[in-house]
Structure 1
Amino acid sequence: MSYWSPPEPRRVRLLVVDEGVDELKPLLETLRCAGYGITHAFGAMEGYRRATALQMDLVLLDVGPGSTDGFAACRLLKADPATADIPVIFLTSSASLEERLTGLRAGGVDYILKPFEPEEVMVRIEIHLALAESRRSRIAPATQSASPPDRPATNDDGAPGSDVDRMLMQAAERLILADLSHVLPLPALAARVGTHEKRLTRAFRAHTGRTVLEFAREERLSRAQRLLLESAMRIEEIAAAVGFSSAANFSTAFREYFNCTPSACRQAGVGRRAPDA
C-alpha cells in the first residue's frame, strides 16, 4: 500500500549528495519512477556549488559520522537568500544525538537514519516539499510586484569580493553572534563554514573592512555596552557573557575602544535616563 502521492506535473528537482551511490540505488530508482528529476553530487561542497547554480527543490545530504563538510555546506546554503528556503534532509548512519542536533541547528529540516525504507524517504520528501510550497505561497503576495536583483556571478576560484566569499563571511558571522562568550578560534571557525583561515580572513576584509578577530572583538564590546546600559548585570557577569577571561581584561579593552570605563559608561547611561524617570 502506497502512502505517498506522485508529484505534480511540474518536474520537481532533487539534489542527492552522497560519496557512494550503491546503497542509494533503490531510493534513486524509486524517486525517478515517481517522476522526480535527480541531480547527484559526490561531496558536500560539490553539492553546495550545484545547489547554488541549479534550481533545486530539495536536497538529500549524506553526512558520515564525524564529518563536518555536510553541516558546513548546509550553513552556506542557509546563509544565501537564493538557496535559504531549499529544504535540506540529512541522511546518516550515525545515531548520535549530538550530530543530529548539529545538523538541525545548521538549518536541516529532517534527519533520516540508515538503513531506511525508500517509501519512508518519499513520504518525508513530500511533506517537506509541501511545507516549502506553503511558505512560498504565503510570501509571494508580498513580493510578486518586486523584481529580484540579479545575483552576482559566483567565482569558484574565490576572488576577493565574490558571492561565495560573501556567503562564507555571513555564515561565520552567524556562528560568532550565536555565542559571543565562546567564539571559535579562527581555524575551527573556518572549518565549520567549509573553508580555510586565509580565505575567511580575506572574505571579512573584502566585505567588512575588518579581520575576523576584529569583527568578533567589536561585536563583543558593542554587546557589552548594551548590557551595561540596559541590564542590571554586574560588570564581572557582563565580561563573562561576552567572552572575556576576567573583568580586568574586559575593562581594559572597553576603555581602549570606547574611551571610558564600563562603570563610567553605565553612570552616563543612568544620567541620560534620569530625566525621563
Structure 2
Amino acid sequence: MNHTQKQPHARLLVVDDSLDELRLLKQLLDAHNFQLSVAFDGHQGYTRAQLLQPDLILLDVQMPRMDGFAACRLLKADPRTRHIPIIFLTAAQSTQERLTGLSIGGVDYVIKPFSAEEVLARIHIHLKLSTRGMTVADALDQGLKHTPDEVLLQAGIQLIRSCLHEPLTVEDIARRLGSYEKKLSAVFRQHTDLTVFAYLREERLKQARNWLAETESSIQAIAEQLGFQNAGNFATAFRERFEVSPSTYRKMMRCAAVANVSNAS
C-alpha cells in the first residue's frame, strides 16, 4: 500500500505503558512526519489530550492506574476531547473487548503485534473521516469546558445508561471510569442529589416504563434486561417509584393509546 501522501500537520497522541511498543510507534510515525506526543497510562493520556488537542489518539487497553477503556469514557464525556478519534491498541483478540471499545466511542482497533502498514492505513483513514465528519456542534464543543467532576459525572451517566442490563455495583462503575467509589459517590450527590445506586435505579425504572408502554415484552423479561434479580423485586421497585404496578401501568398506557386513536378518528 502506498503511503507517500503525508500529513505533516497531523498531531497524534500515543498512550501505552510499554516502552518497546512506544519506541516502535515513535520510529514509525516520526518517519511519516506526524507530530507525536506520548503518555504512559490512561490518566496521563486523558490529561495530555485536553492540553494538546491531538488529531487522533492511539490508546492501549491494558495499562496501570487507568486503563484505556476508562480513559476513553472520560475523553468522550469531555466536550473538549469527544471529537478526537480513538484507535485502540490491544494484544487481546477477544470479540467482546473489541465490541466494548467500539461501544464506548473508539473508532477502530489495531491488534498487537501490529503491522506498520496496517497502523498507517488506519490512521490515515480515520484522520480523513474525522476531518469530513466534523460538525458545527463538534466545533462549538471544543470551546466548552467541564470541570473534572462534571466530566466524571457525564462519563458515569453514559456508562450507567449503556449498562442497565448489568448487575452493576458502585465499585464496578467507579473502576470502569478509573475513579474510586467515594469520589464517584460524592460527585453524583453534589450534581444530581442522588447516590450512584439511586441514579442507576432511576434510569432502570424510566427505561422499564418506556418498555412497558412501547413493547410487548413480558414483565419478567423487562426485569431481567434491566438487571433486577427477579420480577418481584422489579415490581416492588416500580410500584414504590410510580405508585402503580408494572401490569397496571401497561394497561393504563394501552387504554390511553386506544382513546387517542378513537379521538383522532
Is 1:168 aligned to 2:155, yes or no? no
The whole-number CA distance in structure 2 between the counterparts of 1:151 and 1:244 is 37
Preserved contact between residue 59 and residue 89 of structure 2 (Cα < 8 Å) = yes
The whole-number CA distance in structure 2 between the counterparts of 1:101 and 1:218 is 26
Change (3 A) 1:224 1:110: closer
The amino acid that maps onto 1:42 is: F
Residue in 2 aligned with 1:3?
A: 3
Q: Using the TM superposition, give the Cα deviation of residue 89 of structure 1 relative to its aligned residue in structure 2, in angstroms.
A: 1.4
Q: Which deviates more, 213-222 or 259-268?
A: 259-268
Residue in 2 aligned with 1:230?
A: 214
Residue in 2 aligned with 1:133?
A: 131
CA RMSD in angstroms, aligned pairs only: 2.6
Q: Using the TM superposition, give the Cα deviation of residue 39 of structure 1 relative to its aligned residue in structure 2, in angstroms.
A: 1.0
Query: What's the TM-score once normalised by structure 1's chain length?
Result: 0.83
The whole-number CA distance in structure 1 between the counterparts of 2:240 and 2:109 is 47
SS of alignment partner, residue 134 of structure 1: helix
The whole-number CA distance in structure 1 between the counterparts of 2:94 and 2:217 is 37
The whole-number CA distance in structure 2 between the counterparts of 1:174 and 1:143 is 18
Q: What are the Cα deviations for residues 59-107 of structure 1, in whole angstroms up to 9, with x where unaligned?
A: 1112338997111101211122321121111222233333333322232
Specify which of 123, 144, 157 is matched with residue 151 of structure 1: 144
Change (3 A) 1:250 1:28: same
Preserved contact between residue 75 and residue 193 of structure 1 (Cα < 8 Å) = yes
Residue in 1 aligned with 2:31?
A: 33
The whole-number CA distance in structure 2 between the counterparts of 1:129 and 1:243 is 39
The whole-number CA distance in structure 1 between the counterparts of 2:184 and 2:96 is 26
Q: How many residues align structurally? A: 261
Residue in 1 aligned with 2:240?
A: 256
SS of alignment partner, residue 83 of structure 1: coil
Residue in 2 aligned with 1:220?
A: 204
Q: What are the Cα deviations for residues 88-147 of structure 1, in whole angstroms up to 9, with x where unaligned?
A: 1122223333333332223222222222333432222111111111112xx24x888xx6
1:176-191 alignment runs, 5 A limit: 176-191=160-175
Change (3 A) 1:96 1:67: farther
Specify which of 188, 196, 200 is matched with residue 180 of structure 2: 196
Is 1:113 aligned to 2:111, yes or no? yes
Change (3 A) 1:148 1:79: closer
The amino acid that maps onto 1:112 is: V
The whole-number CA distance in structure 2 between the counterparts of 1:240 and 1:37 is 49
- Alignment identity in percent? 44
Change (3 A) 1:251 1:63: closer
Q: Which deviates more, 198-207 or 90-99?
A: 90-99
SS of alignment partner, residue 107 of structure 1: coil
The whole-number CA distance in structure 2 between the counterparts of 1:196 and 1:217 is 20
Residue in 2 aligned with 1:15?
A: 13
1:32-111 alignment runs, 5 A limit: 32-64=30-62, 69-111=67-109
The whole-number CA distance in structure 1 between the counterparts of 2:209 and 2:117 is 54
Specify which of 191, 202, 207 is matched with residue 207 of structure 1: 191
Preserved contact between residue 239 and residue 247 of structure 1 (Cα < 8 Å) = yes
Q: What are the Cα deviations for residues 5-62 of structure 1, in whole angstroms up to 9, with x where unaligned?
A: 1115xx2211111223334324312322322211111111100111122221011112
Query: What's the TM-score once normalised by structure 2's chain length?
Result: 0.86
Preserved contact between residue 64 and residue 94 of structure 1 (Cα < 8 Å) = no
Preserved contact between residue 167 and residue 228 of structure 2 (Cα < 8 Å) = no
Change (3 A) 1:93 1:150: closer
Q: Which deviates more, 86-95 or 60-69?
A: 60-69
Residue in 1 aligned with 2:255?
A: 271
Change (3 A) 1:242 1:30: closer
